[in-house]
Amino acid sequence: MGTFEELVAEGAAVPLEGWDFSWFEGRATEERPPWGYASLIAERLRGVASALDLQTGGGEVTASASVLPLLMAATESWPPNAVVASRNLPFVVQAPDSGPLPFRDSTFDLVISRHPVVTPWGEIARVLRPGGTYFSQQIGTGTNRELTDFMMGPQPVSEARGVAVARADAEAAGLQVLRLEPVSLRVAFFDVAAVVHFLRKVLWTVPGFTVDGYRDRLMDMHAHIQEHGEFVSTSTRFLVEARKP
């Protein structure tokens, strides 16, 4: 365990490109959802001729599938991630998260997304072929609210990422919801470097986070972890599967 300044400097120096969280090994843990998203999409990718991965990050999860369809496309809005994704997947387009998507109507048998920033339901419905499905693991309401509140003070919790909103938006886009499964998961940070890197990488947890702007709260976090051995938070996820009639 380094000093506070050493740990903060270490967390601030970790590159942000890609969506690989292996750096956190031994420094933070997050309980995994029970359904095994990577295995589920790998199974689905084997059974389709065309698929689109929205907001792919560095493409790591989709690239882990043993078989990809003949047409495998992906979108990513952040240029550094798009560069990483282009090394992992065959066809990556830089496109805004909220759409429009640069694809023709009824192009894909399957659209997937893991932890999308936004879900452009209308565009998803447009690019899906009739009978095609959207399959996604999403971030739920109030995820990591304990960490947010520690750093910022008590914050209101929006229902915009709730399962009820997801169902309503999917159905409004003309999709039939087949599966909608929420879960709460334990998260633990074992040093303040992990907190710094997480807040730099997962930007919506503390909007506008900088080390200098939150130095006092980071010092309090460091003291908390030294006393308790960890800082515990709760992430929320839900799995959604919807079909185009």
Given a cut of 70, whether residue 67 has pLDDT beyond it is yes
Tell me the C-alpha distance between 131 and 71, whole Å. 17
pLDDT of residue 1: 67
> What confidence tens digit (pLDDT) does each residue in 166-223 have?
999 999 999 999 999 999 999 999 999 999 999 999 999 999 999 999 999 999 999 9
> What confidence tens digit (pLDDT) does each residue in 78-96 have?
999 999 999 999 999 999 9
Cβ neighbour number for residue 71 with a 10 Å cutoff: 15
User: Phi and psi at residue 202, in whole multiples of 5°?
Assistant: -100, 80
pLDDT of residue 131: 98
Instruction: Quote the tokens at residue 211.
Output: 């080390």
pLDDT of residue 236: 97
Instruction: Quote the tokens at residue 150.
Output: 């520690």
Q: Which domains does the chain have, with CATH numbers?
A: 4-243 (3.40.50.150)
Residue 60 per-residue DSSP state: H
Tell me the C-alpha distance between 136 and 64, whole Å. 16
pLDDT of residue 102: 97
Going by C-alpha positions, the residue among 41, 80, 37 that lies closest to residue 237 is 37
Query: In whole angstroms, how large is the CA radius of gyration of the chain?
Result: 19
